Structure 1
Amino acid sequence: MSDVLFTSRATAKNGRDGHVKSDDGLIDVNLVNPAKNKSDKGSNPEQLFAAGYAACYDGALNHVAREKKKKIDSETTAEVSFLKDPEDGGFKIAVKLNISIEGVGPEEAEELAEAAHDFCPYSKATRGNIDVELNPTVK
């Protein structure tokens, strides 16, 4: 294993209809399965994954831009969809990253988006496992 820089911990109890809490208490939310329960308030694994992926990808995008000496302002929204998997009858997820970049033209935005996707740890972790669509736009 590579040199560990830090480790984050969270514990879930009772799965999609339970509760998740980080070891530091910053994340402390009830979980609700929106496919079965539309009335109760709570988060779900896809929403938590979307938050993490959006933050990680946007950080990677800004890193790549700095390395290329580009001054940008960016915002990334991750849409994580919960899908039926026709191959095994189970479920899977797919991601669409909506990336808004200010400070470059459309071609440079596309190049930065692709470079960030190559660099982002979440993208590396999911590569070849789930469909990820990049949707860069310029402000």
Structure 2
Amino acid sequence: MAKIDKVFFTGTTHTTVNDDPSTQRGELGVVDIKLSAPGGGNYEFIAVESHPTAEQLFAGAWSACYVAALRITASLRKVTLPADASVDVQVDLGQTGPGWFLGATFSVRLPGLAQEVAEAIVHSAHQICSYSKAVSGNIEVAVTVITN
């Protein structure tokens, strides 16, 4: 697995579980996409540029799957996720030498949970998420867990 030396395109997302229909929507020139995952859940990909990059769409789909996996993992551990839990995913397309690669950075915010509990849930969710499993060993994935 190669590390990207030069990034050419980046797609970013901020995904939350949205149970509030009054949530502010995107402004003119952007689109809102509702994503779902097996087992239910209403995940919002809000205020996406009107012509998203493939990296941004991949980050959005991956984050929706990952948020669902977080819920499953937390449930299995009998932990309630905070209402304001969120996942930021950045997918980079870049080059190392003549080769082209993807890389990803996850920033998972689980305020109020103990750091070790949050980290266990976050890392276990990657074992459940089908996108995480599909890219495992193929792209570099960095993960940050924030509990405050």
Range of TM-score over shorter length: 0.5 to 0.7
Partner of 1:37: none
2:69 is the alignment partner of 1:64: no
Displacement over 4 Å in runs of 4+: none
Q: Please identify which structure carries the higher helix content.
A: 1
- Residue 103 (structure 1) shift: 3.9
Q: Please identify which structure carries the higher strand content.
A: 2
Distance, in Å, in 2 between the alignment partners of 1:53 and 1:126 is 10
Distance, in Å, in 1 between the alignment partners of 2:63 and 2:109 is 12
User: C-alpha root-mean-square deviation of aligned residues, in Å?
Assistant: 1.9
Please list, as runs of the form range in 1=range in 2, the aligned pairs for 1:36-115 lying within 5 A after superposition.
Answer: 42-73=51-82, 74-86=85-97, 89-115=98-124
Report the TM-score, using the length of structure 1 for normalisation. 0.66
User: In the TM superposition, what whole-angstrom CA distance separates every residue of 1:95-123 from its partner, at most 9, and x where no partner exists?
Assistant: 00110013411111111111111111111
Report the TM-score, using the length of structure 2 for normalisation. 0.62
Unpaired stretches in structure 2, ≥5 consecutive residues = 1-31, 34-49
Larger radius of gyration: 1
Of structures 1 and 2, the one scoring higher in RCO (CA 8 A, sep 6+) is 2
Q: Structure 1 vs Structure 2: percent identity of aligned residues?
A: 30
Unpaired stretches in structure 1, ≥5 consecutive residues = 1-25, 28-40
Q: Does the aligned pair in 2 maintain the 1:71–1:103 contact within 8 Å?
A: no
2:139 is the alignment partner of 1:130: yes
